[in-house]
Structure 1
């Protein structure tokens, strides 16, 4: 059973909203015996009509009741009142910056596939890359006695964590904690990450080899992946004595940094852009095309992650293959093995393949 809290808000501090009214209705139905253990409740369509709200609002109420252990959704069958079982406390929590978009659904799928087979429930938390939401969820995890292990992607990992004390409290619980994608230096004891620096080093070398002479890097400066990717970019550029510069952006600038980068490229005549990920590279390509640039004839552009975005348009991104589902499976297998005491820990860095497509020149 998957239980999800996507919103990160302390709803007790907010006035009653539509989804909370639906939650109260279902809880009252369970308490009164109207909805009995193991029985199906009203469908999402029925609840939507009854309360005159969207299905999204209904789904949020149901998802939160799943998180609280009161409901269970079965694909193609409906939503049921949860049965109380002896194994209901077997649970692994997953705390990531995002859940529902970009590479995260595949990471979650890898985790869920393994732990469902092992008979564990899955608690999903999303911080939205916010310290406040991270604190809220860390406190929830720390205070939940039924969590057997935690898989974590920390918020803004390049900066000193504002929740360092909570991380230390979590570690003191003496349950397995595995960091994924990135780490908190001085705190992370177990981790599964990609070789960010090495991958971007090879990617940058390939651009220089193809004839690119002036390179711009666009990297996220508040997480450790961004710093490591920049280090690989800088190392390759310096070794080749290529001209290079870099733009660093924060989480808050994510959605518009490509506009800034396009202006710099146009003004300074860069012939290659090495982007933090596909989520930056694709809108940069679109913006550059609007400005009259030909890709890759005028400028080569690369991403990272090999996400669905990388092949979404006629510009197919040259990118780094992030082992999304594999990473999730590795983290889940490690968590289960540590729970069972058959493994003491993990320190894994995964080498990533470069996927060459038509956003870069050089005949790849």
Structure 2
């Protein structure tokens, strides 16, 4: 008498013979198979286990079970890919250096790829990873995560292939993939609260529109203002994209028009704050007497700017260390990848004026 799990196995084999299932196809869910055959989940899992041992199917955690006939488990390459938007500027060298240190200590190689924050370049890199099948894991910085991205299915394909993925600095909300980052909302709130504590009421903001970090830092800015019963004024907020940051000084009239009448400004990051300091110096606006400025990340730009400015610290070395260690643990089967959001610290410099209200 045929056992119940054998009936499921026989059905899947029959579907393959008839061509209704083929290489790469996803099987129906366990619940669907339970209903179809009137059996328990344990019976379905036993059937799938038998097929996996025969190298007919492959189960991908969090994704499902796929037809992968005769595919042997790929030998570990000891290579972990790290894809960042940039590599040799701003906070990126510290992140990459720390990831490389941890990987090297554990005998892994770092394969570095740079997307230049361009969706097309990200797509090309991901396709190469899929085609070459030569990496054990991927630590990726998202590309323009604040706008729709057509590359999400490529990340899903890598997961289906069994490649663990971890995002750093930001994440794609459409994908159920963990990330390690600064708590950007907390950082936006922290620097805004500092300005409020120093007596500022009319506080402008400059935020990045095309990535998730910009949205989260803006949300923290709004949180602090609303908690202080201060109206959030859209006309005091400037939204810029990645390309416009480099051209801020050429677009100074629009920016100054938006922040006119404000005594302080929250900047998306230190790069934006550094550009705003330059605009103010060009226009004879004194910092902090006429305008107080705060940034986020506590990068070298905040320390060595012509006018050093207050900034929320982004613990990037800890970020890189956690990301690398978590990826290694996942590959070695001794831990899972989980979301970690690091809390910022405020580093105060002389860019904020204390206003006393009488």
- State the shift of 1:88 in Å: 9.3
Structure 2 counterparts to residues 220-235 of structure 1, below 5 A: 220-235=208-223
- 1:142-162 alpha-carbon deviations (Å, 9 max, x no partner): 222221110011111011211
Match of 1:248 among 215, 225, 239: 239
Q: Does 1:327 align with 2:319?
A: yes
In 2, distance between residues paired with 1:360 and 1:260? 24
- State the shift of 1:186 in Å: 2.4
* Pair 258,224 (structure 1): closer, same or farther in 2 beyond 3 Å: farther
Match of 1:217 among 205, 209, 222: 205
Q: Secondary structure at the match of 2:308?
A: coil
Equivalent residues of 2:295, 2:310 under 8 A apart:
yes
- 1:230-270 alpha-carbon deviations (Å, 9 max, x no partner): 01111211222335421111122121235545654367221
Q: Does 1:166 align with 2:154?
A: yes
Equivalent residues of 1:259, 1:284 under 8 A apart:
no
Equivalent residues of 1:176, 1:338 under 8 A apart:
yes
Structure 2 counterparts to residues 1-364 of structure 1, below 5 A: 89-242=77-230, 244=233, 245-257=236-248, 260=251, 263-265=254-256, 268-362=260-354
Equivalent residues of 2:79, 2:108 under 8 A apart:
yes
- State the shift of 1:278 in Å: 0.5
Equivalent residues of 1:98, 1:104 under 8 A apart:
yes
- State the shift of 1:277 in Å: 0.5
Q: Secondary structure at the match of 1:100?
A: coil
- State the shift of 1:325 in Å: 1.2
- State the shift of 1:101 in Å: 0.8
Q: Secondary structure at the match of 1:122?
A: strand
In 2, distance between residues paired with 1:260 and 1:270? 18
Long gaps (5+) in structure 2 = 1-74
**Larger C-alpha radius of gyration, 1 or 2?**
2
Tell me the matched-pair count: 277
Equivalent residues of 1:181, 1:194 under 8 A apart:
yes
* Pair 264,93 (structure 1): closer, same or farther in 2 beyond 3 Å: closer
- State the shift of 1:178 in Å: 0.7
TM-score, structure 2 length as denominator? 0.74
Q: Secondary structure at the match of 1:304?
A: strand
Equivalent residues of 2:248, 2:275 under 8 A apart:
no
Could you say which residue in structure 2 is the equivalent of 1:13?
none
In 1, distance between residues paired with 2:267 and 2:253? 12
In 1, distance between residues paired with 2:199 and 2:250? 25
In 1, distance between residues paired with 2:253 and 2:218? 18
Q: Secondary structure at the match of 2:297?
A: coil
Taking only aligned residues, the RMSD between alpha carbons, in angstroms, comes to 1.8
- 1:308-337 alpha-carbon deviations (Å, 9 max, x no partner): 111113411111111111111110000100
In 2, distance between residues paired with 1:330 and 1:155? 21
In 2, distance between residues paired with 1:354 and 1:147? 38
* Pair 98,264 (structure 1): closer, same or farther in 2 beyond 3 Å: closer
* Pair 125,302 (structure 1): closer, same or farther in 2 beyond 3 Å: same
* Pair 263,292 (structure 1): closer, same or farther in 2 beyond 3 Å: farther
TM-score, structure 1 length as denominator? 0.73
In 1, distance between residues paired with 2:116 and 2:269? 17
In 2, distance between residues paired with 1:118 and 1:148? 14
In 1, distance between residues paired with 2:253 and 2:214? 19
In 1, distance between residues paired with 2:242 and 2:254? 20
* Pair 257,313 (structure 1): closer, same or farther in 2 beyond 3 Å: closer
In 1, distance between residues paired with 2:76 and 2:152? 30
